[in-house]
Structure 1
């Protein structure tokens, strides 16, 4: 599979621009993982860090799920990978965990995020509140935060990918 990345239009309206940049960063993370083996996707950056490309994808699965399902739509959607006993569970793999499963789960959460976001305007407040802050957020804030979250982690993905096979790129 080859991931195609498309930069958003330079003249789009605000919502189209925000959605476009979020999609671009989602595509960038997928691109950074492309063509690697299961072992390479599980390769940590450097001791003592547990950061891996597969872990980043699983982390972004949780982030998509948290902001769009739990906060925006007030859906009762518990965590996929982490727990109270293992708050960094997305970075801890069992032998049975696979890239195929992680990727499919991430894509399913992105699809759900798109569905939920389509029901709201940029100024609409979330139906739910953030578990830690107790605050409600408008969709504009969530989009902006998600772009920031992906951009930060795509920087991590750049470094991980370069360490794994020397591949570099934007």
Structure 2
């Protein structure tokens, strides 16, 4: 168990702006001089892509123990738990747009996404594979609805509302990831 006096030293790889995660030329979220997004759908998709990349960047370079570390006791939240949670949520959003029987939960009972985030490489590998698979599945299903005002599923949610909700979910959890990563090894930056 780490004590508060064992706090890691704060650091970043950025050299251009000391409060950034990476230098602009090294940041995959930057457009690097390309044209800005055109239209509402492209803007929403770019925002979601950037938050997805941010989450992955916050997890890069950590081992299974660090990813599973619950950095702010008594919370069960960890970086690995966030990855598992977002995989679970992506799957659940597929249920929102479907009239079919709901897909089963990936990890079981409530909070199993966080509770089951243990420091085993197999669990880590499975979590990242689950997230990638669930993101791709929902992205493919949403591509069937080019009209952002289309209402789908039993609750007739608008595609636009679901896209904004996804961005909101990732943005909130990227904020958590900032703090969790800083607690794990001291790395900081937006």
Task: Compute the TM-score of the two structures, normalised by the length of structure 1.
Answer: 0.86
Match of 2:173 among 150, 153, 163: 153
Residue 116 of structure 1 pairs with residue 132 of structure 2: no
Q: CA deviation at 1:28?
A: 0.7
Conserved? CA contact 1:3–1:31, under 8 Å: no
Pairs within 5 Å for 1:96-111: 98-111=123-136
**1:5 Cα deviation (Å)?**
2.4
Question: For residues 183 and 99 of structure 2, what CA distance do their matches in structure 1 show?
Answer: 39
- Name the structure 2 match of 1:136: 156
* Deviation string, structure 1 residues 23-55 (Cα, Å, up to 9, x no partner): 111111011101100000000022110100000
Q: Which residue of 2 aligns with 1:5?
A: 29
Q: Which residue of 2 aligns with 1:65?
A: 91
When residues 9 and 88 of structure 1 are mapped into structure 2, their CA distance, relative to the original with a 3 A threshold, is farther
Provide structure 1 residue ranges, at least 5 long, that are not aligned to the other structure.
Answer: 130-134
Question: Does 69-78 or 97-106 show the bigger shift?
Answer: 69-78
Q: Which has the higher Rg, Structure 1 or Structure 2?
A: 2
After TM superposition, give the deviation of residue 19 of structure 1 in Å.
0.7
Partner of 1:43: 69
What TM-score results when the alignment is normalised by the length of structure 2? 0.77
Unaligned runs of 5+ in 2: 1-25
In structure 2, the CA distance between the partners of 1:9 and 1:82, relative to structure 1 (3 Å rule), is farther
The structure whose RCO (Cα within 8 Å, separation 6+) is larger is: 2
Structure 1 residue 3 displacement after superposition:
8.3
Deviations for 1:119-154, whole angstroms, at most 9, x for unmatched residues? 01211112x23xxxxx32111000101111100100
Q: Tell me how far apart the structure 1 counterparts of residues 99 and 68 of structure 2 sit (CA, whole Å).
A: 33
**Secondary structure in structure 1 of the residue aligned to 2:149:** coil
For 1:77 and 1:9, how far apart are their aligned partners in 2? Answer: 38
Cα root mean square deviation, aligned? 2.1
